[in-house]
Amino acid sequence: MLEVSGATKSFGGFVAVSNVNLSVAEGETHAVIGPNGAGKTTLFNLVSGLLTPDSGSVVFRGKPLKKMQPHEIVKIGMARSFQRVNIFPRKSVFDNVQVALIASRGLNFNPFRQASGLFRDETIALLDLVEMADDADRRAGELAHGRQKQLELAVALAADPKLLLLDEPTAGMSLGETRAAIKLINDIVSKRGLTLLFTEHDMNVVFEIASRISVLHHGEIIASGEPQAVRDNDEVKRIYLGKE
C-alpha cells in the first residue's frame, strides 16, 4: 500500500532522513520507533506530502506522491495526526469533525448548501467512536490534551482514509491515558479495516499492537520486521532497547 524507496531529506547540513526504505502492506499495523531526533516525524512529513524528499520516492496505492500536495494525498486515502495536536482549537468539537466531513465529501466548493445541522448523525457517530459525543458542544481548545488527541483522531477518520498515519498518538499522555488511547486506536483500526502507520515511544504499547516494526536511528532504518525479530535484533538491542 505504501512504498518508500531511498528517501532522503536534509535540512541545511543536517540529514534528517537518509536513504530510507519502508514498505507498509495493506492491513498492517506498522510502528516506526526510534529515539528522539531519529527522523520519525520527518519521515511522516515526507509520506504525507508536507515535505518533499530530496531524493528517493514515496508511492501510495500505486501513485507516486512526488508532485502531490497534502490535500491531494488525503483524497486518495491517507489521513494523519500530528505529534503536536493539530485541530481547530477555537471551534467546537462538533464543528471540528463536521468541517472534516464537509471537506471529505467535496462540499467545500458549495456556497449555497447550508452547513447548520449537516452530517449531524455522521459527526456524532465519529465522536462516539472516539468516546467524545458528550463533548460535542465544547470548544476543542478547552479540552484536556489527551482528549484533543482523540478529537484529532476523529477528524482524521472523517476523511475516510485507507491508511492512517498517527505521529506519537499518545505523546504527553499519562500511563493510564496511553493504555486507553491505544486500546481505542487498536479497536478502531481493526473495526474499520484500516492500515496503520504510527510512531510511539512506549515500547510496551508498540509490542502490544504492532504487527510490524521499523527502527529508525540517526535517520536510517536499522531493522524492520516482525516484533519478535526486531526485539531480537542485536543492533536494535544495543542502541535502542538496551536503554530500557
Task: Please report, as ranges, the residues that interact with other proteins according to CB under 8 A.
Answer: 48, 50, 69-72, 74-75, 79-80, 86-91, 95, 98-100, 102-104, 107-116, 118, 155-156, 158-159
Length, in residues, of the chain: 244
Q: Which one, of 213, 143, 146, 153, lies nearest residue 189 by Cα?
A: 153
- Residue (75 or 231) nearer to other proteins, CB: 75
Tell the smallest beta-carbon distance from residue 75 to other proteins (Å): 5
Q: Which is nearer to other proteins, 7 or 140 (CB)?
A: 140
- At its nearest, how many Å lie between other proteins and the CB of residue 83? 13
Q: How far is the CB of 200 from other proteins (least distance, A)?
A: 20
Cβ 113 to other proteins shortest distance, Å:
5
Nearest distance from C-beta of residue 115 to other proteins, angstroms: 5
Neighbours of 160 (CB within 10 A): 15
Q: How far apart are CA 47 and CA 39, in angstroms?
A: 12
Nearer to other proteins, 69 or 174 (CB): 69
Please report the DSSP string for 133-199 in residue order. Answer: GGGTTSBGGGS-HHHHHHHHHHHHHHT--SEEEEESTTTT--HHHHHHHHHHHHHHHHHHT-EEEEE
Element (H, E) at 208: helix 203-209
Q: Of 117 and 242, which has the nearer Cβ to other proteins?
A: 117
Cell (9 digits) for 81: 495526526
Which residue's CB is nearer to other proteins, number 72 or number 187? 72
For residue 78, the minimal CB distance to other proteins (Å) is: 9
Between 118 and 124, name the residue whose CB sits nearer to other proteins. Answer: 118
CA distance 205 to 173: 13
Question: How many Cα atoms are found within 13 Å in the side-chain-facing hemisphere of 1?
Answer: 19
Is residue 226 within 8 A of residue 30, CB to CB? The reply is: no
